Amino acid sequence: MSLDRESALNVAQVLTEALPYIQRFTGKTIVVKFGGNAMVDPVLHDSFARDVVLMKLVGMNPVVVHGGGPQIGSLLDKLNIRTEFVDGMRVTDAETMDVVEMVLGGSVNKEIVASINRNGGKAIGVTGKDGQLIRAHKLQVTRKSPELEVPEIIDIGHVGEVDQIDTSVLNVILDSDFIPVIAPIGVGEDGSTYNINADLVAGKLAQVMQAEKLMLLTNVAGLLDGEGNILTGLSTGQVDELIADGTISGGMLPKIGCALDAVKSGVASAHIIDGRVPHAVLLETFTDEGMGTLITNKRAQP
């Protein structure tokens, strides 16, 4: 079926608008953290897979890092394993860690790989334990208590922080024209397994690989000001000011902190985008308007 003139012009406009971005980002690494609604909504899941496949086909090197909190919680409930959180982090004892590893490294990872492959791409799923991709140590959480003179150290189990990332495993995958899909599970020096926040893993990967972009999919439109307007085109200095004056607070702080650290460490730009919008990754990458909050070391948008 042929297009009418108006539809054909719209298609041509979209393609010509995308061309400079394709030319600019060819050969560049784009680290994308996949999470939120996009992971559990089949339509959004499929559109994300198609976005990543297209990025690879036009010459970019997408690297996908995924979470899986809702899926982990669901399986823990089915197994009648009680779970609790400290400062937003899941307390992960040995039994819970087995479930986390099974869900993240197994079902969720393979589902994303299958979706990318089904949409014409070539993906390989790995965890941070494969080839010791992600070396980690146990995260220590301290909490001030009025009854204690010194902060209390809280043991939250197998929750880790990234020590270092060995990119040789990823380079082999990327050089073979595959898309790596990474579950945020790390390994300690003694072989212990650690559950690591996916945003933090994505940020560290972007830093180590000197990625062109770090993209964090969320369940919000982006960073909002006091009136609910999306803030974008921000410099790192402006973000620091927004944190200082309280505009950025609560649950958005860790995500923004991750993006900020990445940009300050050499990543060209970080993007907080709304994963509830179909093809949000493509819209943020290939259009002038973009989809969410952009943070760079420059005041002008690229």
Q: Does residue 15 lie in a domain region?
A: no
* pLDDT band for position 301 (cuts 50, 70, 90): very low
Q: Does residue 98 lie in a domain region?
A: yes
Q: Does residue 9 lie in a domain region?
A: no
Q: What DSSP string runs through 102-141? A: HIIIIIIHHHHHHHHHHTT--EEEEETTGGG-EEEEEPPE
C-alpha distances (whole Å) from 253 to each of 2, 23, 230, 244, 256 are 49, 33, 16, 11, 5
Phi/psi at 42 (5° precision): -60, -40
Q: Does residue 234 lie in a domain region?
A: yes
Please count the structural domains in the chain.
Answer: 1
Please report, rounded to a whole number, the percentage of residues in the chain having pLDDT higher than 70: 91
Contacts by 138-146 with C-beta closer than 8 Å and gap 24+?
138/188, 138/192, 138/194, 139/89, 139/194, 141/86, 141/87, 141/89, 143/86, 143/87
**Mean pLDDT of the 43-52 span:** 94
Q: Does residue 213 lie in a domain region?
A: yes
Residue 168: count other Cβ atoms within 10 Å of its Cβ.
10
pLDDT value of residue 16: 83
pLDDT value of residue 250: 73
Q: What is the pLDDT of residues 246-294, one digit of tens each?
A: 888 777 788 888 999 999 999 999 999 988 989 999 888 888 777 788 9
Q: Does residue 246 lie in a domain region?
A: yes
Q: In this model, does residue 213 exceed pLDDT 50?
A: yes
C-alpha distances (whole Å) from 79 to each of 91, 101, 106, 244 are 16, 15, 17, 43
What's the mean pLDDT when you consider all of the chain?
86
| CATH number reported for the structural domain that contains residue 37 in this entry | 3.40.1160.10
* pLDDT band for position 153 (cuts 50, 70, 90): low
Q: What is the pLDDT of residues 273-282, one digit of tens each?
A: 988 989 999 8
Q: What is the extent of the structural domain holding 124?
A: 26-296
Q: Does residue 163 lie in a domain region?
A: yes
Cβ-based neighbours of 26, under 8 Å, separated by 6 or more: 58, 59, 60
Q: What is the pLDDT of residues 107-142, one digit of tens each?
A: 999 999 999 999 999 999 999 999 999 999 998 776
Q: Does residue 17 lie in a domain region?
A: no
